[in-house]
Amino acid sequence: MKPSAWWAVCSTAICALVAPYPLTSQSAPVVRETTTVRAYDGRTMPGEFVSISLPERRGRPSRSVTFAALRLASTAERPGTPIVFLMGGPGIPGTAMARVPPYFTWFQRLRDLADVIIVDQR
């Protein structure tokens, strides 16, 4: 898949994950599952695992690509625009970083501003 097509699909998936309104019946189903994020040092916070499957190619929808993310709901009274975290390193899913204590603390602080969406790019 060309990089420009990959980014288009990824951005579409991210928009679907953070949209505040239900998807239409023609859209791909979004799977949501409540979870608890547990840091390696024992701290916990509530989260929501979200995944969406999209056709790899619209012209040939036989194969699909699944995008997954972890949503950490904001603790703010009036949350701002969702913050999207994309892991930069190869081979490490973004959601794995949520358990690392310094990242866990960082994500907790970001929740004071807005929802935090941690995207798994693999």
Alpha-carbon gap, residue 62 to 55, rounded angstroms? 7
Q: What is the percent of the chain with per-residue pLDDT over 70, rounded to a whole number?
A: 75
Chain segment 9-63, per-residue pLDDT in tens: 555 555 555 454 344 445 567 899 999 999 999 999 999 999 988 887 777 767 7
Per the listing, tokens 């599952």 go with 33
Strand pairing category for 116-120 and 64-72? antiparallel
Segments making up each domain of the chain, as ranges = 3-120
| Residues facing residue 49 across a β-bridge | 33, 70
Contact (CB, 8 A) for 41 and 101: yes
pLDDT of the residue at 21? 38
Contact (CB, 8 A) for 52 and 29: yes
Statement: residue 94 has pLDDT above 60: yes
Report the mean per-residue pLDDT for the chain. 80
